[in-house]
Structures are given as C-alpha cells and as structure tokens.
Amino acid sequence: MSSIICKDLCKTFQQGEEIITGLDRVSISIEKGDFVCLSGPSGSGKTTLLNAVGGLDKPDSGEILIGGIRIDNLGKGALADMRLHNIGFVFQAYNLIPVLTARENVEFVMQVSGMPALERAEKSLNILKEVGLEGMEERRPAQLSGGQQQRVAVARAIVSQPTLILADEPTANLDSVTASQLMDLFVELNQHHNVTFVIATHDVRVMKYAKRLIRMEDGKIITDVNQRHKNSD
Amino acid sequence: MSGHEKTLLPSKVIFKLAWRNLWRNHRRTLIMLSAITLGVWAMIFMTSLLRGMVDDLLYNGIRHLPGEVQIHQRNYRDDPSINNSMPPADAKLLTALNMPRVTAWTSRIKVSAVIASERDSRGVILLGVNPQSEVKLGFDLDSISSGRFLQSTNDSGLVIGAKLAERLETRLGKRVVIMSQDPKNNIAERGFRVVGIYRGKLASQEEMNVYAGLQTLQKMLKLGNQISEIAITAEDYRNTHQWFPVIKNATEDPLQALPWYEADSYLSTMMVTMDGFVLVWIVVVFMTLSFGLVNTLIMAVFERTREIGLMQSLGMRPTLILYQILIESFLLLLIGLVAGNVIALLTIIPLQDGIDISGVAQGMEMMGSSSVLYPALKLKDMLLANVIVIVLGLLTSLLPAWHASRLNPVEALSRN
C-alpha cells in the first residue's frame, strides 16, 4: 500500500499582479519506507509539494491521500492532529521554540499529544544522546550552534516515531560533516524503522542518499529516477 | 498511519509557553504590568474614596431622618400633625424592637411649633425625645457647644441649635416660649429655659430642630402617652432590608413601618447612583488599560508569527494557540491585579482614620458631608474591579489570540 498518493495537484500563488504556478498537475505515489529527494531550482515547486503533503497548505485542486486517508479536504484541527501523530518536520532554518530548552523542544510534540511526563523525559533524553547532544539538554536554542540546533530539530521530528518525515533543505545551513552525520541518521531511521522520508533539497550530497530522485521544474515533475540499483552498485 | 486521535488540552506546556513568553520582553511586560497595577489601584482607591463620601452623606442623611426604619401612624407622612400621633410600642412590636439586629430605637414626638424669644420668633420642628435612646440612635453629645443635652424625658429644659439662638438673639440660660397645637386644635404653650446649644452638621438642622423631654412635651401637648414616631437603627444601613421585615410584620394597622430607602427617595437614589457610578468608573479605567493590553498582545503575536507557524506545523491545534495567548493575557492581568490590590490595600488602610478635606469641603458640608473623608473599602467593589479586569481583559485579548490561531502556517513560517 502506498504511503503517499498525490493526484493532479495544482497550486498557484498571486504575487502582485503576477500569478505564479507552484504545482502544475503533479501526480506522484510514494511507497511506505521510501527515501525520496525532491530536487530542482528555486521556485520549482519542491517546498509547495512538501507543504501540501504535510497539510500545511491546501492545493487549489487535486487529491492527497496519506495512508489511504484523503487529507486535502480536512479541517485545520484535523490536519494539526495528523501532523502531530504521523508527520515529523525538519526545516531549513532550525525552527526551535526559543523559550524552551533543547529537551523541552524535543518533548514539545509528545507533550502536546499528551504523553506522560516520565515517558517523554526518558525518550527525549535518549534521542538527544542518539543525535550527539548529551549534556546539552538544558540549553536554550540561543546557546546552541547551528548544527546542534538542527540536530535538536531532527530529534524533535523523530522522537515520537512518525511514519513520515518531511524535510525542507535540512542541510542548507550545516557544514559538510554535520550534514553527513544528519543524513546518516536519516538513512538509519529509514532502514531500521521503515520511516518514509521526503526531502526537498538543492544539495547533491543529500541526493546521493535518496532511493528515488524526483526533479521538478516550474511546478512539474520532470524526471523521477529510482536510484536503488545505482546506490547498491 | 495511525488514526487522527483528538488531543486533550496539554495545559502544562501551554502554561509554560505562556509564562516564558510573557517574560521574553521584560521591559514591555513590566510597562504593561505597571499600567494594569496603576489602573487597578485607581479603580479600588478612588472607589473607596467615593464610597466613603457617599457613605458619609447617607449616614448623615439617615441620622437626620432619624434611623434606618421609622414607624408612624399611616397618615403621618402626608400630614405630620399631632392629630396623626400613635400609641407607644405594644408587646409584639417591643419584641421585634428588642431583636439583636437592632442596635437602638427610640420613641419621639415631632411637631411643628413656634419658638419666641424676647427679640424674635421662628417656626421650628419640636422634638420630644428620650435623651438616652436618642444618643444611642445618633445624637452626637460632642455637638453640644455650650450647656448640656437633656437628662431625662421629664427634663424641663430646651436644647436649640446655635444658628437658631443667633436668629432669636438668645443664649444659654435664657427663657423662650414654645407654642404649638394640642389634639383638640387648641394653642398649647409653655416657657422653657435654654439648657444647651448644639452645632448641627447641616445649617438647616441647626436652625430648625429643637429638643425637649418626651414626657414634658406629652404633658404640654396633652398627648397622654401618644408619640409621633418610633425610629430604629442597626449596624449597617446597607443591610436594612435583612431585618426590616421583622419590624414590618410586628407593625399593625394603622401603623406603618418604612425603611430609610422608602422614607427618603433622595438617599436611596444616591446609593443606586453611586453603584452605577462605580461601575462606570471601573469600566472607563479598564478601557484605557485595554488599549495597552491589546497592543502588547498584538506586538507579541506579531513578533512570534514564525514561531506560531512552527507550532502549527508540529501539530498544535489552532485552539491551543488561542488558549496560549489567552493564558498569557490572563497571567499578565492576574499579576497586575494582585499588585494593584496589594498597593490599594497598602494605601487605603493607613487612611482609615480619615482624610481631612476641610480646606476644600465647605460645599460638601452644605450637602451633609463631613470635613473628614473616610475611605470605605468594600469587598464588593474590589471583587467588581477584579472581575471586570479579568473578564473584559480576556474578551479584549480574544482578538489578537484569534488572529494568532488563524495564521496560515506556511505564510507564518516564511515571515522573518
């Protein structure tokens, strides 16, 4: 069963008097456990597709099904619940809540979903250790480097074991070593926990990790390449 | 993919976020807190001064009636003549008059009369009183400026106001003649020696009210044991409605019991007007505060737009965002209220002995108010101020909170 199905997605934006096409009849099917990279120049529609799949933005037309449930006609509250329980987001800018510590940021999603305090404390400490932030749990975002902040954001995205992680330029602000560590972490989650990844990126280093590479231009899918065999070679 | 379970309200994280966000911009929060504190203080402090002033006016007015409840013959209010006298309290009424709530009561004669000195004559209200119970009811012995007050119901002396003495060109120890009507419409007159001169709170009272012994007047007016009225008082004029029914039930036709708010509509109107004025005052002060409050919250939401988008993208429902902003507002209001209440108490309590406003209060004295203003801090007024600030504060916070909850996550995340 497909994890994500998009059918004929269209989305336009008004910018002044100009109408910009974000998505132009995009249809795509992503299997559960897949590792997909969306590439393409700025304005090609990668982030728009990611936002639509994550329920952050609604397409003008078309259908989106996640796990067999149509999400493009859900209300704001239902979409928020879907994101809370099923999707992890990693953004280009680290996007941590500045008034919370690293541990509290990681716990945030679990706390909102009503997980008991002891359980979430244990999980958050373990995941921070796993991403190499042991001893920095009580630091606030301003006291962490860019790489450390992104690792907190990743920890937050994966701690509640979502079935799908959507990442928008996750390595854009990271040095090559940190970017490589982050991608290794993504691959491990994908291989050992069967988490589906959809990553929008310009970074060729990230594209190397993808099982499937989709190239977009002007809101359309131009190429859709399965790299499994290439990677295994 | 698991089902879309409905999330319970995660109050702890919302409260934590609200509290920490409140102190992100210390300076702005402290300025807003100062404004709320000052506003709440102004609400409570000024209300207590206004209450004190009106309490004084009402207290003096009721004392002048006198008493919080009066019993008359049914026709007395329309025709306050000697023909509408009444018998003294019977056993049933005496039982009611002696209930614990009643702090004092007295029987009086109250008739129109003419007083004549060697030099002049004036129309006055002649009061036949029992001196002991009259003092308990509110006659202030310190108001006697020369001589003494009456000593018994048989006292043959007369106590007059300083203003009247001046008008009659008489003085302490001089004889005056009182003339009135007996029940058969014959002239009743008697000579009295002025044994005391008093200073009244009201100039009109000082000029009109003349005090004589109750039994002395009953003899002079051939009234037997008849009286004009029974005046009753208790501890707080605001609670008269609680014990008045007992007196009313013990009063049988043709007698009629009236509470002060029916006996003097001016006084009751003043009390109702005061309650309305307090409400208007509190709301007006709040409205000035609300602009600052809304501005603070709008700025806070504006500064955190990106963060709100992030929380939405992580799965925080719009209602939780709304609650968070409202809790932030609630905390701000609560701290301001506590500080405002404490400062109000700290400034009012030391003034309980009164504020001397004699320098500016001559006009007020004419209206029956004292030259010393006693702030009257009422729990009801404090509660009203607190409830209005919290309820209206949260209502005005709804706009920025609703705005935050309706943000589009994609647009919010792209905001710098």
Is the CB of A113 less than 8 angstroms away from the CB of B316?
no
Tell me the average pLDDT of chain A: 89
Report the C-alpha gap between A213 and A210 in whole angstroms.
6
The three-point CA angle B218-B219-B221 to 5° equals 65
Instruction: List CB contacts (< 8 A) between A78 and chain B.
Output: 4
Helix (H) or strand (E) holding B32: helix B26-64
Q: Could you tell me if A206 and A37 are in contact, meaning their C-beta atoms sit under 8 angstroms apart?
A: yes
Minimal C-alpha gap between A233 and chain B (Å):
32
By Cβ distance, the residue of A69, A82, A114 closest to B10 is A114
ipTM of the complex: 0.87
Minimal C-alpha gap between B355 and chain A (Å):
49
By Cβ distance, the residue of B2, B313, B413 closest to A85 is B2
Minimal C-alpha gap between B295 and chain A (Å):
21
The token pair at B131 is: 């001196």
Going from the C-alpha of B165 to that of each of B197, B210, B214, B365, the distances in angstroms are 8, 11, 22, 21
Report the C-alpha gap between A110 and A108 in whole angstroms.
5
**Whose CA is closest to A95, among A155, A185, A159, A177?**
A155
By Cβ distance, the residue of B8, B21, B310 closest to A114 is B8
**pLDDT value for B296:** 84
Q: Could you tell me if A50 and A22 are in contact, meaning their C-beta atoms sit under 8 angstroms apart?
A: no
Cβ of residue B5 closer than 8 Å to a chain A Cβ: yes
Q: Could you tell me if A61 and A8 are in contact, meaning their C-beta atoms sit under 8 angstroms apart?
A: yes
List CB contacts of A189: < 8 A, sequence separation 6 or more.
A158, A165, A195, A197
Mean pLDDT, 10 residues at a time, chain B of 416 residues: 50 89 89 91 90 82 81 88 89 90 92 92 94 89 93 94 94 94 90 93 83 94 92 86 90 89 83 84 86 84 89 91 92 94 94 78 62 84 90 90 90 80
By Cβ distance, the residue of B17, B21, B316 closest to A80 is B316
Q: Which residues pair with B104 in a beta bridge?
A: B233
Specify burial of residue A76 (Cβ count, 10 A radius: 0-12, 13-18, 19+).
Answer: middle
Within 10 angstroms of residue A68's Cβ, the number of other Cβ atoms is 10
pTM of the model: 0.74
Interface probe for A, chosen from B314, B319, B414 (most Cβ of A below 10 Å), is B314
Report the C-alpha gap between A136 and A180 in whole angstroms.
21
Q: Could you tell me if A98 and A89 are in contact, meaning their C-beta atoms sit under 8 angstroms apart?
A: no
Minimal C-alpha gap between B339 and chain A (Å):
25
SS3 B315: coil
Strands B121-129 and B229-234: unpaired
Is the CB of B311 less than 8 angstroms away from the CB of A97?
yes
By Cβ distance, the residue of B17, B314, B408 closest to A83 is B314
Phi, psi dihedrals of residue B212, rounded to the nearest 5° = -135, 170
Query: Residue B315, by phi and psi: left (phi above 0), alpha (psi -120 to 50) or beta?
Result: left
List CB contacts of A18: < 8 A, sequence separation 6 or more.
none
Q: Which residues pair with B234 in a beta bridge?
A: B102
Instruction: List CB contacts (< 8 A) between A163 and chain B.
Output: 1-2
Is the CB of B5 less than 8 angstroms away from the CB of A85?
yes
Write out chain A's pLDDT in tens, 233 residues.
348 999 999 999 888 888 889 999 999 999 999 999 999 998 899 999 999 999 999 999 999 999 888 999 999 889 999 999 889 999 887 689 999 999 999 999 999 888 898 999 999 999 999 888 899 999 999 999 888 898 899 899 988 889 899 999 988 877 888 888 889 888 988 998 889 999 999 989 899 999 999 999 999 999 998 876 555 54
Q: Could you tell me if B211 and B220 are in contact, meaning their C-beta atoms sit under 8 angstroms apart?
A: no
Is the CB of A77 less than 8 angstroms away from the CB of B317?
yes
Instruction: List CB contacts (< 8 A) between A69 and chain B.
Output: 1, 4
Q: Could you tell me if B165 and B204 are in contact, meaning their C-beta atoms sit under 8 angstroms apart?
A: no
pLDDT in tens, A113-144: 888 989 999 999 999 998 888 999 999 999 99
Q: Order the strands of the A35-39 sheet from edge to edge.
A: A87-90, A164-168, A196-200, A35-39, A212-217, A220-226
**pLDDT value for A124:** 94
Compute the half-sphere exposure of residue A38: CA atoms within 13 Å on the CB side of its CA.
28
List CB contacts of B231: < 8 A, sequence separation 6 or more.
B65, B66, B67, B69, B70, B105, B106, B108, B137
Report the C-alpha gap between B340 and A62 in whole angstroms.
57
**Whose CA is closest to A3, among A207, A190, A208, A216?**
A190
Instruction: List CB contacts (< 8 A) between A95 and chain B.
Output: 306, 310, 413
Is the CB of B4 less than 8 angstroms away from the CB of A82?
yes
Is the CB of B17 less than 8 angstroms away from the CB of A100?
yes
Question: Positive or negative CA dihedral for A100, A103, A104, A109?
Answer: positive
**pLDDT value for B370:** 66
Instruction: List CB contacts (< 8 A) between A196 and chain B.
Output: none
Instruction: List CB contacts (< 8 A) between B13 and chain A.
Output: 108, 111-112
**Residue at token pair 């108490």:** B345
Report the C-alpha gap between B71 and B61 in whole angstroms.
17
Report the C-alpha gap between A171 and A166 in whole angstroms.
13
Cβ of residue A92 closer than 8 Å to a chain B Cβ: no
Is the CB of B312 less than 8 angstroms away from the CB of A80?
yes
Burial B37-69 (b: 16+ CB within 10 A, else e): bbbbbbbbbbbbbbbbbbbbbbbbbbbbbbbbb
**pLDDT value for B362:** 62
Cβ of residue A56 closer than 8 Å to a chain B Cβ: yes
Which chain B residue is nearest to residue A99, measuring alpha carbons? Answer: B20
| AA identity, residue B357 | I
Report the C-alpha gap between B157 and B172 in whole angstroms.
11
What count of CB pairs under 8 Å joins A to B?
A: 96
**pLDDT value for A136:** 93
Which chain A residue is nearest to residue B11, measuring alpha carbons? Answer: A112
Which chain B residue is nearest to residue A80, measuring alpha carbons? Answer: B315
Which chain A residue is nearest to residue B10, measuring alpha carbons? Answer: A112
Which chain B residue is nearest to residue A160, measuring alpha carbons? Answer: B314
Phi, psi dihedrals of residue B67, rounded to the nearest 5° = 90, 160
Residue B245 DSSP symbol: H
Cβ of residue B1 closer than 8 Å to a chain A Cβ: yes
**pLDDT value for B131:** 94
Compute the half-sphere exposure of residue B188: CA atoms within 13 Å on the CB side of its CA.
19
Helix (H) or strand (E) holding B124: strand B121-129
The token pair at B35 is: 């404004």
Query: Residue A219, by phi and psi: left (phi above 0), alpha (psi -120 to 50) or beta?
Result: left
Q: Which residues pair with A215 in a beta bridge?
A: A39, A223
Is the CB of A51 less than 8 angstroms away from the CB of B315?
no
Minimal C-alpha gap between A95 and chain B (Å):
7
| AA identity, residue B50 | L
Q: How many residues does chain B have?
A: 416
Q: Could you tell me if B127 and B210 are in contact, meaning their C-beta atoms sit under 8 angstroms apart?
A: yes
Is the CB of B315 less than 8 angstroms away from the CB of A83?
yes
The token pair at A12 is: 């336009």
Is the CB of B410 less than 8 angstroms away from the CB of A163?
no
Peptide bond into B66 cis (omega under 30): yes
